[in-house]
Structure 1
């Protein structure tokens, strides 16, 4: 498709399946899985409700699609962070990215953490959000290892736990500045570990 005003190609709108998966991830984050209806997801994706069933027969299939959307977002995040040459800079960029999402965290909490918490209570095989958390923890550990830290695994857990904790507090108190303050502390902490 060509944008006739500027003569540039414009990217095509994402397909319905992709829009539904992204909408499911968003709406599940905002409302929780149990409170979300298929109609809510269709509305967010701007797709007629009847069309949803062509791609996803059940709400659980939409949960799986949302988990896939989260995994794709994580892959894109890691690819963007890998553009930094230094592992310390990669970790600090990760922290700054978390802080940049502080208003959303204040309103709804961490997208991955809230979904993992909700799905972790289920015993039906949909408690797969842990895989995304594990992937991020492994990547963080690799960064600390590249910094020469023998305790890289422990540091990865500490960093991720600090983020999850501040996300919970930011959401509980609806105070984005809590995340700003913790983000500054984490950046300094990462600097201190590079010495």
Structure 2
């Protein structure tokens, strides 16, 4: 038993360091952008010696990929929690509430995935822009499913409208350093969701 526990400790410590580096990469890349961020910045934020980073991630590109996986994990945690609500309209309103709840961060740095996707689109690095796009697509698909379950007309278009509105209010909030833009526009989105009609027999599970 003791030998088995001893053999697990190094693996557990390695997994913990990798997760700390992944979380730090997501946070620092959001705050500083890809160009300005160094591997040493991420190591410092994760409280991991800079020389140890290469044991887990060979390049900054791999750290960007790890950051995107962290954004995916956060999205899945959020949508998983919202999926426990019976009413798809309430799930969408809960999504808007989560966006507004991060208004201070949005006002300083913008949307984590959106800003990263825009920056990566301008860089000639193999496929990272497509990886960022997949995170955005995952959000769009989840939102579309909620509109579809509501029985709303054009669920794909409504999904684009809602996620596009979020990206727009995040951008404006960041550009003007005004978190209350998120509050006001979030309230407008909730009103829009409440006003959407659904055919009889839809609107819940």
Give the TM-score normalised by structure 2.
0.87
Aligned-pair CA distance for 1:24: 0.4
Q: Over aligned residue pairs, what C-alpha RMSD do you find?
A: 1.3
C-alpha separation in 1, matches of 2:54 and 2:189: 44
C-alpha separation in 1, matches of 2:149 and 2:187: 22
**Equivalent residue, structure 2, for 1:97:** 98
Matches within 5 A, 1:25-64: 25-64=26-65
Matches within 5 A, 1:118-137: 118-123=119-124, 124-127=126-129, 128-137=131-140
> Aligned pair 1:146/2:149, yes or no?
yes
C-alpha separation in 2, matches of 1:122 and 1:75: 27
C-alpha separation in 1, matches of 2:96 and 2:157: 17
| 8 Å CA contact retained: 1:99, 1:180 | yes
Consecutive aligned runs of 4 or more in structure 1 exceeding 4 Å deviation: none
**Equivalent residue, structure 2, for 1:65:** 66
Aligned-pair CA distance for 1:122: 2.4
Q: Secondary structure at the match of 1:62?
A: helix
- CA deviations on 1:140-165 (whole Å, 9 max, x unpaired) are 00000011012100000000010000
C-alpha separation in 1, matches of 2:196 and 2:47: 47
Runs of 5+ unmatched residues, structure 2: 1-11, 199-205
Residue from 188, 191, 194 that aligns with 1:188 = 191
| 8 Å CA contact retained: 1:39, 1:49 | yes
C-alpha separation in 2, matches of 1:131 and 1:122: 17
Q: Which has the higher helix share?
A: 2
Equivalenced residue count is 184
Residue from 145, 164, 170 that aligns with 1:161 = 164
Rg bigger for which structure? 2
C-alpha separation in 2, matches of 1:22 and 1:120: 22
C-alpha separation in 2, matches of 1:194 and 1:42: 50
Give the TM-score normalised by structure 1.
0.91
C-alpha separation in 1, matches of 2:168 and 2:39: 31
